[in-house]
């Protein structure tokens, strides 16, 4: 196993790191408070190639690979976790369209994502179908040359800023083969986006519901094969989990940097708290957690890059990295004492932001199901 970074990956990481430090970190607090990411920031991210890191060049992507994407995600998440999830979902949608779309679908939609013209959204979950997307109720029925969709999607990241969405709907029986995918472009009649959730963290990223009331899509909106939606969702989520694991590491690294700096500065009992073994051990445990997470994520990314099976490894990376990053952020608050519990210090935001990484793109429990199934089948 050798997932040392090549020249391209190093360049992508350095680009993301510089942008994160210069452009994102200084405004992350206001993004959290205002509940929105400035549009020009997302456009600049696209101009740097970060909205299509692992997307073919012919569609405006950087074609830099999975390791480069993972590294870029860590850097962006360290600056602003809300921006990172927006980048994660847009990259995932671009990759999925590149893998499963027709030539016409790819040419029509991916350049809009990689150029920053619009965001990509991934509309799988519903009110009663989260961990179990097979339970979804949204339907798509063929009517002449069109598809008619009815139903409601829940928890769809930045759907209000997206004109290229992948939507799942039932086209057949209640088995997994009864699900299909559709490309939802623009704002067709029958689509409404009523609002977004009031969340604990990632407050700059709007998490929306989508309502379809006799929403008509053209026949070529069918994405992939009829009845092939479940397979596309599972493959997309395998890759997406590497992105979310990387996001959690980025947030954890930012919290650890803050904890190290604060421990050297803060004095109690006449000396810096960094002199106390209790603090030293928290810093050591944080570094060990993060390093282990980086190895697991690097392995999953490396396997995906080589075109090998990586589903189990992506789940192991996600469950470990997201839970490790939560421990890291929690300890970073502890190192800050009471100040860590205030909005004045970034570790408070990091702890809120990192929490959801154990929930979306498959909860920790779902990752453990994927891992144990692979071992016990």
Ligand X SMILES: Cc1cc2nc3c(=O)[nH]c(=O)nc-3n(C[C@H](O)[C@H](O)[C@H](O)COP(=O)(O)OP(=O)(O)OC[C@H]3O[C@@H](n4cnc5c(N)ncnc54)[C@H](O)[C@@H]3O)c2cc1C
Q: Which stretch binds ligand X (CB under 6 A): 53-61, 241-249, 294-302, 358-366?
A: 358-366
Distance in angstroms (rounded) separating the CA atoms of residues 351 and 348: 5
Show the site string, 107-136: x = touches ligand X by CB under 6 A, - = not. Answer: ---------------xxxx----xx-----
Among 69, 147, 155, 223, binds ligand X (CB under 6 A): 155
Query: Per-residue contact track with ligand X, 236 to 275, x per CB under 6 A?
Result: ----------------------------------------
Q: Which residue lies nearer to ligand X by CB, 154 or 334? A: 154
Contacts of residue 99, defined as CB under 8 A and 6 or more positions apart, other chains included, come to 235
Q: Closer to ligand X at the Cβ: 235 or 369? A: 369
Which residue's CB comes closest to ligand X? Answer: 130
CB of 85 to ligand X, least distance (A): 7
Least distance (Å) between residue 45 CB and ligand X: 18
Cα 319 from Cα 45, distance rounded (Å): 28
CB of 330 to ligand X, least distance (A): 19
Nearer of residues 323 and 361 to ligand X, judged by Cβ: 361
Structure tokens at 211: 């309502």
Active site residues: 361
Distance of alpha carbon 277 from alpha carbon 321, whole angstroms: 25
Q: How far apart are CA 83 and CA 72, in angstroms?
A: 12
Q: How far is 337 from 7, CA to CA, in rounded Å?
A: 41
Q: Which stretch binds ligand X (CB under 6 A): 2-10, 139-147, 155-163, 322-330?
A: 155-163
- Closest approach, Cβ 355 to ligand X, in A, equals 9
Stretch that binds ligand X, among 153-161, 169-177, 255-263, 271-279 (CB under 6 A): 153-161
Q: Which residues contact 148 (CB under 8 A, 6 or more apart)?
A: 140, 141, 142, 214, 215, 216
Could you tell me the smallest distance in angstroms from the CB atom of residue 196 to ligand X? 10
Between CA 346 and CA 313 the distance in angstroms is 31
φ, ψ of residue 80 to 5 degrees: the values are -155, 115
* DSSP per-residue string spanning 276-297: SHHHHHHHHHHHHHHHHHHHHH
> Interaction with ligand X in 201-230: which residues (CB under 6 A)?
202, 207
Binder to ligand X among 156, 296, 297, 325 (CB under 6 A)? Answer: 156
Number of residues engaging ligand X in binding (CB under 6 A): 22
Q: Which of residues 51-110 bind ligand X (CB under 6 A)?
A: 89
Per CB under 6 A, the list member of 271, 281, 365, 372 interacting with ligand X is 365
Residue closer to ligand X by CB (options 149, 156) is 156
Q: How far is CA 151 from the centre of its chain?
A: 24
DSSP code per residue over 35-98: T---HHHHHHHHHTTTTSTTS-GGGT-----HHHHHHHHHHHHHH-HHHHHHHHHHHHHHHHHH
Among 73, 87, 356, 370, binds ligand X (CB under 6 A): 356
Q: Among residues 363, 304, 323, 290, which one has the least CA distance to residue 91? A: 304
Nearer to ligand X, 259 or 370 (CB): 370
Q: How far apart are CA 337 and CA 315, in angstroms?
A: 33
Identify the three-state secondary structure at position 198.
coil
> Of 118, 127, 70, 71, nearest to 93 (Cα)?
118
360 interacts with ligand X by CB under 6 A: yes
Residue closer to ligand X (CB basis): 156 or 259? 156
> Given the rule CB under 6 A, which residues bind ligand X?
89, 122-125, 130-131, 155-157, 199, 202, 207, 356, 359-363, 365-366, 369
């Amino acid at each position: 196993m050798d997932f040392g970074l090549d020249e391209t990956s190093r360049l992508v990481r350095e680009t993301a790191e510089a942008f994160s430090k210069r452009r994102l970190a200084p405004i992350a607090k206001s993004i959290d408070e205002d509940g929105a990411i400035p549009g020009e920031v997302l456009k600049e991210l696209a101009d740097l190639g970060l909205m299509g890191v692992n997307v073919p060049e012919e569609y405006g992507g950087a074609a830099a690979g999975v390791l480069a994407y993972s590294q870029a995600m860590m850097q962006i998440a360290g600056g602003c976790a809300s921006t990172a999830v927006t980048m994660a979902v847009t990259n995932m949608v671009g990759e999925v369209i590149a893998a499963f779309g027709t030539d016409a679908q790819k040419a029509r939609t991916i350049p809009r994502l990689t150029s920053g013209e619009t965001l990509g959204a991934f509309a799988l979950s519903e009110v009663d179908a989260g961990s179990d997307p097979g339970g979804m109720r949204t339907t798509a029925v063929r009517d002449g040359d069109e598809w008619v969709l009815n139903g409601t999607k829940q928890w769809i990241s930045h759907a209000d800023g997206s004109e290229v969405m992948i939507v799942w709907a039932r086209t057949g029986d209640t088995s997994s083969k009864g699900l299909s995918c559709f490309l939802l472009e623009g704002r067709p009649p029958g689509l409404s986006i009523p609002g977004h959730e009031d969340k604990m963290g990632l407050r700059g990223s709007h998490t929306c519901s989508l309502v379809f009331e006799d929403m008509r899509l053209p026949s070529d909106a069918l994405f992939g094969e009829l009845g092939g939606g479940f397979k596309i969702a599972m493959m997309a989520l395998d890759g997406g989990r590497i992105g979310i694991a990387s996001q959690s590491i980025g947030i954890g690294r930012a919290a650890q940097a803050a904890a190290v700096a604060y421990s050297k500065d803060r004095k109690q009992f006449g000396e810096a708290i960094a002199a106390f073994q209790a603090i030293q051990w928290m810093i050591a445990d944080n570094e060990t957690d993060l390093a282990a997470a980086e190895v697991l994520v690097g392995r999953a990314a490396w396997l995906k890059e080589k075109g090998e099976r990586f589903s189990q490894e992506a789940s192991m990376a996600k469950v470990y990295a997201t839970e490790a990053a939560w421990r890291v952020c929690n300890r970073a608050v502890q190192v800050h004492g009471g100040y860590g519990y205030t909005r004045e210090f970034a570790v408070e935001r990091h702890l809120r932001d990192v929490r959801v990484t154990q929930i979306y793109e498959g909860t920790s429990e779902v990752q453990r199901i994927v891992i144990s199934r692979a071992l016990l089948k």
